[in-house]
């Protein structure tokens, strides 16, 4: 039995392969106490996931994984308990959706130049209306027979800095934190030990994010090895940040199952408390 909440999962509303209700069913089977649905740049799956959580007796944590960019480095920011109707957040998600389309076209063109012919129509069919992500493109590269598997598609072609990689224009990581906070949410830095080959997230950036209002670090990400977990847990604790854990479940394209790493419920309560405090502070009436 896994005790805790898996605080980072995906569905077909972004680049996962299971619809929100099915992602929740996987969570129920894994025995976690709850899950956060944190699709890339969209809150579209929340209603379905919340209903499914109610059905399975799981705690639902609403979340989003916001794409930010720092130079050629892609930095992911988790936002929990954000107001899904907050206009600037909705606008940023819309902007990113369009930007993802532009970038997918550019990556398909680059792949063609490298002798990997995949069709944009098929990529779009795979995304089925969700924001287009590199996993959709990776699956097409595999289907075209250009590589053996999904990971090889990333390593050889579309990982950050690889020959067919195209960055997307997005907010800076600091602006991402500020946007999440302005939306009444709480910001947690996703998988700091998983990022880009040449330019991993470093402590200088972490300090800048703390100044911007970051509250937590996903030190126990399933893809972090023991050294990375230890390093980021220490870095978080030294800065008074909460430590979260999660699988980053994407469905059947990756081996990692829900519950591969989890967050203690008390930490989720603390995150929710920060979000609630930020909202009540904002709406507080001036005594004058
Ligand atoms: P995108 O949002 O389009 O930049 O795609 C990011 C997603 O691609 C991440 O959430 C991961 O699911 C996946 N991804 C990124 N880098 C890799 C990699 N090197 N190997 C496998 N999957 C990756
Ligand atoms: Zn993803
Ligand atoms: Fe991510
Ligand atoms: Fe993710």
Mean pLDDT of 3-11: 97
CA separation, residue 283 to residues 91, 212, 213, 246, 274 (Å): 22, 20, 18, 32, 14
Distance from the CA of 79 to the center of ligand 3, in angstroms? Answer: 12
Percent of the chain with pLDDT over 90: 85
pLDDT over 80 at 196, yes or no: no
pLDDT over 80 at 107, yes or no: yes
Mean pLDDT of 41-60: 98
Q: How confident is the model at residue 286 (pLDDT cuts 50, 70, 90)?
A: very low
Cα(90)–Cα(256) distance, integer angstroms:
30
User: What's residue 287's pLDDT?
Assistant: 45
Structure pTM? Answer: 0.93
Q: pLDDT, tens digit, for every residue of 108-158?
A: 999 999 999 999 999 999 999 999 999 999 999 999 999 999 999 999 999
Q: How confident is the model at residue 195 (pLDDT cuts 50, 70, 90)?
A: low
- Mutation test residue for ligand 1: of 70, 96, 135, the one with most atoms within 8 Å of CB: 135
Measuring from each residue's beta carbon to the nearest atom of ligand 1, which residues come in under 6 Å? 15, 40, 67, 74, 133-135, 151, 154, 159, 250
């Amino acid at each position: 039995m896994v005790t805790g909440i898996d605080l980072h999962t995906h569905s077909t509303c972004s680049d996962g392969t299971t619809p929100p209700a099915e992602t929740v069913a996987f969570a129920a089977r894994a025995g976690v106490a709850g899950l956060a649905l944190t699709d890339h740049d969209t809150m579209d799956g929340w209603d379905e996931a919340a209903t499914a959580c109610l059905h399975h007796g799981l705690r639902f944590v609403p979340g989003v994984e916001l794409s930010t960019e720092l130079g050629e480095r892609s930095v992911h920011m988790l936002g929990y308990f954000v107001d899904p109707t907050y206009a600037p957040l909705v606008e940023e998600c819309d902007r990113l959706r369009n930007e993802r389309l532009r970038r997918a076209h550019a990556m398909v063109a680059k792949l063609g130049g490298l002798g990997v012919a995949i069709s944009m129509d098929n990529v779009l069919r795979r995304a089925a209306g969700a924001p287009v992500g590199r996993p959709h493109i990776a699956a097409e590269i595999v289907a075209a027979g250009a590589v053996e598997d999904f990971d090889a598609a990333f390593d050889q072609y579309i990982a950050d800095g690889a020959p067919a990689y195209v960055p997307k224009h997005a907010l800076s990581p600091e602006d991402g934190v500020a946007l999440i906070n302005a939306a009444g949410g709480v910001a947690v830095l996703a998988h700091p030990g998983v990022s880009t080959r040449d330019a991993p997230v470093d402590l200088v950036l972490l300090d800048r994010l703390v100044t911007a209002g970051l509250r937590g670090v996903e030190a126990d990400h399933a893809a972090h090895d023991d050294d990375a977990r230890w390093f980021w847990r220490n870095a978080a604790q030294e800065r008074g940040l909460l430590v979260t854990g999660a699988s980053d479940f994407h469905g059947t394209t990756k081996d990692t199952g829900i519950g591969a790493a989890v967050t203690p419920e008390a930490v989720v309560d603390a995150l929710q408390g920060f979000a609630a405090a930020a909202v009540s502070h904002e709406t507080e009436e001036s005594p004058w």
